[in-house]
Structure 1
């Protein structure tokens, strides 16, 4: 017996114009140019006109002179080293899986058994693959912990002092917590020998991946923030897009002499051109509107270099009338030039936190992190600030945030905790 059932559900249905606008809003640079080329290729009534790029005779560099080669990523460098290894196929496959599972710092944080189960590799194969990767450059790559990364680097250094590997392997916890007297006694070291080991360990990298050549990504500003002759902050586009125009001559000819099918086709082609032109105009208008709002809100920052005011994408959407999704697409992966420097547009946004003083009763997260950095730079070496003490100190200044927020900001700035700072400054 056949069952008949009804299902009621809501689905978001976008028009062709909406889909085109959303797609173009996220494109920038070469991707947008490629998209325009595709539209011209698909629509025979569209044509494209390129800007004049002939040299002006001013002796400036040719465009080809500015092209640089991209750096090699960590994964590519490791795969090159893997290809020249003479090992069984299972171990090579396991090593490749390990390389693909490394985090951005070069550590392996996953489970070996889970990484190899999909390819039928056992734990022993994965262990051998991991050990093989740990012999690659940069030293310490593939380590599972900081302790293991330091140990691998120490064993591969010919200038490692005697006892450094033993200290890391057997007395790491005491070393980490600064129990120098216990380490010195149990390892039977003199104060000078222990200090020599500590100086050596201080030179080692806590993150193996940055030692390798990172994948260099060269960005180009989409807009420029500048001052006009009157000193007013303005914004202009830096995109060099070809002009897409409609062939009115062909349209008139085919609309007059073509059959019904031809006329229907060319009219549809004209609608596509109008949609494309509207989407391009809306794209630039949205970028211009968002950037003007940012400039207006953060004008103290652009004019005088003062702290950023709290500003979120939702606030921009409320202030401009644009949707939050549109503002998000404008800000994402888009760059602005200001004062001969290039900034991500997201740099000008900041979350707000409550404070007692101030015109709007709030302060940005970036301003708080700036104050935290100043506290830590001028702290007593023997009694560094703890996260709780920083929280209390900010509270005395009228800034109300939780201790966990202070910890989050400190980690975001790659600042060690108070115990680690005390040991690092005392070495």
Structure 2
């Protein structure tokens, strides 16, 4: 019996598509609705200090529906108003939680000067002059208000509003309250390197604090009694005029992403390798996001044109 071994070499060329994380995200973004994409951009802005989002003003351009007689029908007006105002909400809590004392009278007095966003619109000095109460009593009354729901109500400025929310949140990052208290202006100006050096923490720690604060509400009382309408924002608008059909892109309804060039240039002067690498990574994230949003808009527009062209073929 004879055994033979044959060896051969063959060269094959294959082409594979590497599904990187960025590519997977790009494919996912193509499937987002406009509302989903806006939420995604908001989340990216929270994570990237070099990314600035400019929001467009949007108003509905659609006509109201009409009944059989041709009169406009406002279906929203038929929905019963069961909302409660911020003032009513605060009064209910005051009467439920605080005994009928002179201090509660001062609390009720101050509540009348809380605006729709939840901010106190009278100084304690003015309140003391009008009520005859002492500054200590007025401060105690304000403290009681600031313990009510929603968190942040009774604040006299944005800084205090955010501090009140952070103070009552057990999940708040370490040092978040102290950073708001001592370095609020630097945080607003995104001088993260100064904050990191002041507290002896990393830029990632500062970003975690900033991301958390971005998730807080600057207007805690606005949710009560809000009558703001909700609009469905379409990606495309199809206009039909006689035999002419046009496909129009609604990109103006999308927020614009901008690069914080001044902040980048200022931070780039740092000699810290960690800072330089951080800036480069965030710049690449911005460029990728801007390119992906542009590609999504182009793809949707081409699909819309193709659908319209196909429909024309049937007529």
- Give the alignment's TM-score, normalised by structure 2: 0.48
Q: How high is the TM-score relative to the length of structure 1?
A: 0.36
